[in-house]
């Protein structure tokens, strides 16, 4: 695909609010296509590129969210990215731009009495995530907003879910992973093996920090860690606000994921229900 370098730029050397297993899958697929090196699961199995991206699709020529009995159902699935240019999930990704646009339209739509965020995602980019979360949180009170997980909401997806009035998780679904991760890729040994030497010519002592052609210096690592820590604290504070929990309690989860009822117990969800049961519960609340 022609956009592989663009995807790599958005995934490597940038903070992500994503579960490690999901990040591993995406990065292994990209590395395999670049032919530079191979990243493996602990089991040693490579992952297919088809798990990351598919054939491009055109924007569907109908309403971008479904309205069922007065409830706007906004789908949020796959890897979450800042800008996808699509109003619905496509190619295994959902854009924060599409979610925000659908939310704005649903709030203004006279046929919509409530909004259901239909979420199943392991997370994605930090960029754009918290602005969207604040927009959802700020919309509370205009119309009921429920996050109904079908199956899980982890990391950036959980940040979005937590902004709703109510979070419902199925018994086999999950919540949490309130943390930030950043992967630095060092291709220097692989390039040297192929007889390729890359010289970085730059102005400014820190200009080349984090480049993929040299090992990461201790100074650069410390700076990136500080940035990740700041984003992690923003994540923790946001979830604490959204769920009316103490910052210490959210931070104390140490990015743990919680299965079904465990998420309710920790305060990350309000009820355990299958998605269809949750939808009926929302309808009952609307009367």
Kindly list the catalytic residues: 155, 207
Residue keyed to tokens 């990461």: 216
Q: Is the dihedral of CA 94, 95, 98, 99 positive or negative?
A: positive
The CB-side HSE value for 34 (13 A sphere, CA atoms) comes to 21
């Amino acid at each position: 695909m022609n956009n592989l370098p663009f995807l790599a730029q958005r995934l490597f050397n940038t903070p992500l609010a994503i579960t490690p297993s999901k990040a591993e899958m995406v990065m292994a697929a990209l590395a395999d296509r670049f032919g530079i090196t191979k990243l493996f699961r602990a089991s040693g199995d490579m992952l297919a590129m088809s798990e990351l991206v598919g054939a491009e699709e055109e924007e569907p020529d109908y309403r971008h969210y479904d309205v069922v009995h007065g409830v706007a159902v906004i789908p949020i699935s796959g890897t979450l990215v800042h800008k996808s240019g699509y109003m619905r999930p496509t190619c295994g990704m959902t854009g924060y731009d599409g979610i925000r646009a659908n939310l704005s339209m649903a709030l203004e739509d006279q046929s919509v009495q409530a909004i259901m965020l239909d979420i199943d995602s392991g997370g994605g980019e930090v960029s754009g995530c918290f602005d969207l979360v604040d927009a959802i949180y700020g919309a509370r009170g205009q119309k009921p907003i429920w996050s109904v997980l079908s199956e899980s909401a982890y990391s950036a997806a959980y940040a979005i879910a937590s902004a709703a009035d109510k979070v419902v998780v199925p018994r086999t679904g999950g919540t949490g992973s309130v943390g930030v991760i950043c992967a630095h890729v060092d291709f220097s040994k692989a390039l040297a093996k192929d007889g390729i030497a890359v010289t970085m010519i730059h102005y400014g002592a820190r200009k080349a920090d984090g480049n993929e052609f040299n090992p990461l210096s201790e100074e650069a690592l410390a700076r990136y860690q500080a940035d990740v820590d700041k984003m992690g604290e923003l994540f923790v504070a946001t979830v604490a606000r959204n769920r009316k929990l103490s910052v210490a309690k959210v931070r104390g989860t140490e990015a743990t994921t919680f299965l079904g009822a465990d998420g309710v117990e920790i305060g990350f969800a309000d009820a355990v229900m299958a998605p269809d049961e949750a939808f009926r519960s929302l309808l009952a609340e609307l009367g």
